[in-house]
Amino acid sequence: MKIRRKSDIQSSEITPEPIFRGRRKWIAAAAAVGAASAIPIARLFDDAPAVHAAARLGPLKTSRFSTSEPRTTYEAVTMYNNFYEFGFEKDEPARNAHTLRTRPWTITIDGEVKKQRTFDIDQLLKLAPLEERVYRLRCVEAWSMVVPWIGYPLSALIKQTEPTGNAKFVQFTTLHDPQQMPGQRVPLLDWPYVEGLRLDEAMHPLTLLTLGLYGEVLPNQNGAPVRVVVPWKYGFKSPKSIVRIRLTEKQPKTTWNQTAPTEYGFYSNVNPTLDHPWSQAKERRIGEFLKRQTLMFNGYADEVGALYAGMNLKKFF
């Protein structure tokens, strides 16, 4: 197998442009980050069984939404991450996220709802039957994975609050605690990390309230103890370590959209025809050498295309 030299790897495959441009600020503030680099390739492509130490989840329902594509290795899924609260290199979350305390943990759901609710993590685990959903994950940096997530539709949680007729959008706020999350000590992003969806996107059966992967509870570096996975959007639209879900009438501001609005749109659907600013036409699946064609809506067009009927996807990107 041919292994690319570090000099052959384009920066757009490794680090989003705003982070890449902000490296000097990060280095000056933290003196801890060098040039962008992926974790050792041999570790990503290793087919040997990884050591699992997390608590198992089950029983699990099978899902009709799962792809039959080969799964990315457990080691790659848990050691090659974007989670800037724990560092800006792909291997740093796995090394630094041990500081995250996932118990106790609660999520508050408020805003345009009839019943404001707060759930602890154990209540979330029992709220609906857990499913294994094998989803494609596509990052705007032009790499992808296939991950067996565990959870249930986010709609099951939102329905507990009885949204009002004014609810049009959903805003997700993640944990803000610089003591636990060393990356938040650097003001390169406006912490806490905030994301948002249209309400019909959040209520779509593909949108997963995610509590685990590979049969286990979520590792810290993958967004423990609870995150959302929206498989037809770029990976940054799937917020990690969520503490608040707020239903709103107006479109909420989101972290990346505020940081670089010409590059990171509110919708951020996977779209191979729209550059970002580098081409999104192809992607590199972790564990493979050759690039593959990127699919519209990450291959979920049949399921979600109707959500955007009549929309100009270049304007509403």
Write down the domain spans for the chain: 6-308
The pLDDT of residue 48: 39
The pLDDT of residue 18: 52
SS (H, E, C) the chain: CCCCCHHHCCHHHCCCHHHHHCHHHHHHHHCCCCCCCCCCHHHHHCCCCCCCCCCECCCCEECCCCCCCCCCCHHHHHHCCCCHHHCCCCCHHHHHHHHCCCCCCEEEEEECECCCEEEEHHHHHHCCCCEEEEEEEECCCCEEEEEEEEEEEHHHHHHHHCECCCCCEEEEEECCCCCCCHHHHCCCCCCCCEEEEEHHHHCCCCCEEEEEECCEECCHHHCCCCEEECCCECHHHCCCCEEEEEEECCCCCCHHHHHCCCCCCCCCECCCCCCCCCCCCEEEECCCCCCEECCHHHHCHHHHHHHHCCCCCCCCC
Q: Are 137 and 78 in contact (CB under 8 A)?
A: no
The pLDDT of residue 103: 96
Q: Are 215 and 209 in contact (CB under 8 A)?
A: no
The pLDDT of residue 47: 43
Q: What gap in Å lies between CA 207 and CA 72, rounded to an integer?
A: 20
Q: What is the pLDDT along the chain (317 residues), one digit of tens a residue?
A: 444 444 444 544 445 555 544 444 443 333 333 333 334 444 444 443 445 567 999 899 989 999 999 999 999 999 999 999 999 999 999 999 999 999 999 999 999 999 999 999 999 999 999 999 999 999 999 999 999 999 999 999 999 999 999 999 999 999 999 999 999 999 989 999 999 999 999 999 999 999 999 999 999 999 999 999 999 999 999 999 999 999 999 999 999 999 999 999 999 999 999 999 999 999 999 999 999 999 999 999 999 999 999 999 999 99
Cα dihedral: 104, 107, 110, 115 (round 10) = -80
The pLDDT of residue 52: 59
Q: What gap in Å lies between CA 111 and CA 128, rounded to an integer?
A: 23
Q: What gap in Å lies between CA 81 and CA 87, rounded to an integer?
A: 10
Which of 87, 105, 107 lies closest to 97, judged by CA? 87
The pLDDT of residue 4: 45
Q: What gap in Å lies between CA 102 and CA 115, rounded to an integer?
A: 25
Q: Are 184 and 26 in contact (CB under 8 A)?
A: no
Q: What is the CATH number of domain 6-308?
A: 3.90.420.10
